[in-house]
Chains A and B, each alone.
Chain A
């Protein structure tokens, strides 16, 4: 029963993404009939192949709509701002060549795979910081930092408010 629910949820999600990709293609509303068939087949394959992994470890919580709203707010607010700032900073370092690289360790205290993935991807997308490894047991993040200002930093020092947002959205 649980398996079926996992497959169904994954399938619906994959089908929705395919519909978005194929908007404005044809006669049946916004979509052509063959696109709908192709989408359904692909969604079924995706669901059977990945459904069992996607919802392990409390993934159902990600279906709560307030988490999606928070995620969008985070994406267009603090994240985009931090990314723009960091991009200008790294652009300046590219030109001047002034770097002080190193791999630092910190523990943002996140416990689910989704939370850790969200934080690791946010860190990597922000220029100047790059997640090299995560210790699965202790939750330690190892981050390559292009301008080390503190050899044993707090999470806030490296990535600002990201851990707080990752906890709100995914845990």
Chain B
């Protein structure tokens, strides 16, 4: 059980780290939204799964609460993360920020 928890935490840490690297390396707001929100979602999913497994392994009232709440946090993360990043990208495009080195921009053509 401990090995599973460590594995989850390690995967979570790696992807969260990659998200931070993406924030530095990618050139414009859209690609940064990709890196910073998506990689960290995947990382956070695994971190939270680690917490849930830990709570489950502890058992009893406290462990159960921990597992259930970590799982609920996961569900809300999956619901709110795409909504938030979509809002960021849409606002950026409406404010007139062009995608960097884009090969095609159909949304600009519509206006």
Contacts and interface: CB of A to CB of B under 8 A. Distances in A.
Main secondary structure of the interface of A (DSSP, over half): mixed
Interface string B76-96: 001101110110011001000
Contacts of A42: none
A133 B30 contact: no
Main secondary structure of the interface of B (DSSP, over half): helix
Interface string B50-90: 00000000000110110011001000001101110110011
Contacts of A142: 106-107, 110
Contact of A83 (B21, B42, B83, B106): B42
B78 A125 contact: yes
Contact of A132 (B78, B81, B107): B107
B18 interface: yes
Given A90-B34, A91-B18, A131-B86, A151 B103 contact: yes
Nearest to B99: A101
B104 interface: yes
A97 to B, nearest CB: 6
Contact of A23 (B28, B65, B85, B86): B65
Given A83-B42, A132-B93, A133-B93, A94 B85 contact: no
A142 B31 CA distance: 15
- How many A residues are at the interface, by size bracket? 35 or more
A59 interface: no
B85 A130 contact: yes
Given A87-B38, A127-B39, A133-B93, A23 B64 contact: yes
Contacts of B99: 101-103, 144
Given A103-B108, A144-B30, A120 B18 contact: no
A20 B42 contact: no
Contacts of B89: 130-132, 144
B25 A94 contact: yes
Given A121-B82, A131-B86, A133-B90, A97 B39 contact: no
Interface string B2-41: 0000000000000100100110011010110111001101
A35 B81 CA distance: 28
A40 interface: no
A121 to B, nearest CB: 4
Interface of A: 17, 20-21, 23-25, 83-84, 86-87, 90-91, 94-95, 97, 99-105, 120-128, 130-133, 135, 142, 144, 146, 148, 151
